[in-house]
């Protein structure tokens, strides 16, 4: 879990650098500071289980086993990318690992996850679907419709809200009447749990309990992981609606530094072992970037591939 969190952090910081160097087109939404939620939640799944992601989905893809070279290639718009360079930052999908895709639509993955869970129930394949969404999505109609039908039909789905305190530039407290997203679970007769989204083990245990419940046929759960994004909503966000003091306060709760200290303190890993992991990850990231840079551009002749049947 430490390795995966460090991988996500390094990936996102490199994406930030590449974007500033005009090597990534469109926009992108980075999850620096939120690594524990993606890693802890996905660690609670079996390999064949599925996820749906969000516009801030790089961490989900990496945590579910996504390959760094293909991810960088996708962001750089190359033919070797996961979606052959057509999807970009907000639309990476990796069906092989059970990642049904990121989504540029706020809350867009919620009904998809619910549908995937319905398919699993009908096929009796024993799979659980994990649905990531942000706090901004909890006020969308599809959130309420999906939770209602999932509870009625006892679908094997776990809804995980990554509450990073802001939907675009609006504070959660200014947009949502309920004090917590998890409070809304009661309306749909399912368990709702609040967890420290910067504690990877706390996230793991909360999601594992919900996944086991879903797999037993007892229906969905709603988990709210309270976390924080260090950077702006997207690359076009001037980030003027938050104070520097607030950002610095959350940085003190960095999920990676916290877990690193815990692993050393409890004797699970030594400083040397963790440094070795960090160096390996940093090397793999640079190799993946080189792969992406050297990959071919999509052919103009293939421009309609995947657009028309």
Interhelix angle 200-215/255-265, rounded to 10 degrees, is 90
For the chain, where are the E strands, in sequence order?
Answer: 50-52, 129-134, 157-163, 166-167, 170-171, 192-196, 221-226
Considering the candidates 228, 229, 260, 291, report the single residue annotated as catalytic: 229
Beta carbons of 46 and 130 less than 8 angstroms apart? no
Q: How far apart are CA 119 and CA 279, in angstroms?
A: 42
Considering the candidates 3, 17, 241, 283, report the single residue annotated as catalytic: 241
Q: How far apart are CA 2 and CA 295, in angstroms?
A: 30
Helix, strand, coil percentages (3-state) for the chain, rounded to 5, are 50, 10, 40
**CB within 8 Å of 257: residues ≥ 6 apart:** none
Burial class, 170, CB count within 10 angstroms (exposed 0-12 / middle 13-18 / buried 19+): middle
The pair of structure tokens assigned to 292 is 């992406």
Mark whether 241 is an active-site residue: yes
Q: How far apart are CA 194 and CA 188, in angstroms?
A: 16
Mark whether 259 is an active-site residue: no
Considering the candidates 9, 184, 233, 260, report the single residue annotated as catalytic: 233
Mark whether 204 is an active-site residue: no
Radius of gyration of the chain from its Cα atoms, rounded to whole angstroms: 19
Stated length of the chain: 309
Q: List the catalytic residues.
A: 229, 233, 241
């Amino acid at each position: 879990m430490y390795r995966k969190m460090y991988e996500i952090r390094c990936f996102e910081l490199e994406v930030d650098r590449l974007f500033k160097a005009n090597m990534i087109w469109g926009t992108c939404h980075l999850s620096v500071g939120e690594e524990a939620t993606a890693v802890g939640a996905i660690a609670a799944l079996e390999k064949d289980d599925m996820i749906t992601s969000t516009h801030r989905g790089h961490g989900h893809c990496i945590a579910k086993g996504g390959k760094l070279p293909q991810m960088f290639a996708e962001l750089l718009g190359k033919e070797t990318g996961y979606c052959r360079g057509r999807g970009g930052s907000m639309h990476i999908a990796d069906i092989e690992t059970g990642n049904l895709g990121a989504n540029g639509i706020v809350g867009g993955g919620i009904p998809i996850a619910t549908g995937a869970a319905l398919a699993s129930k009908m096929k009796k394949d024993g799979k659980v679907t994990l649905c990531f969404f942000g706090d901004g999505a909890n006020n969308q109609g599809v959130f309420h419709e999906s939770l209602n039908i999932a509870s009625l039909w006892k679908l094997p789905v776990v809804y995980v809200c990554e509450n990073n305190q802001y939907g675009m530039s609006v504070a959660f407290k200014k947009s949502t009447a309920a004090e917590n997203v998890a409070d809304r679970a009661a309306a749909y007769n399912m368990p709702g749990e609040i967890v420290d989204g910067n504690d990877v083990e706390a996230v793991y245990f909360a999601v594992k309990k919900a996944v086991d419940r879903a797999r037993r046929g007892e229906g969905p759960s709603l988990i709210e992981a309270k976390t924080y994004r260090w950077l702006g909503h997207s690359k076009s966000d001037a980030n003027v609606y938050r104070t520097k003091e607030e950002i610095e306060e959350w940085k003190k709760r960095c999920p990676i530094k916290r877990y690193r200290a815990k692993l050393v303190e409890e004797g699970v890993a030594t400083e040397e072992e963790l440094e070795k992991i960090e160096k390996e990850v940093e090397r793999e990231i640079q190799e993946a970037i080189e792969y992406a840079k050297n990959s071919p551009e999509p052919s103009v002749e293939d421009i309609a591939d995947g657009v028309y049947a």
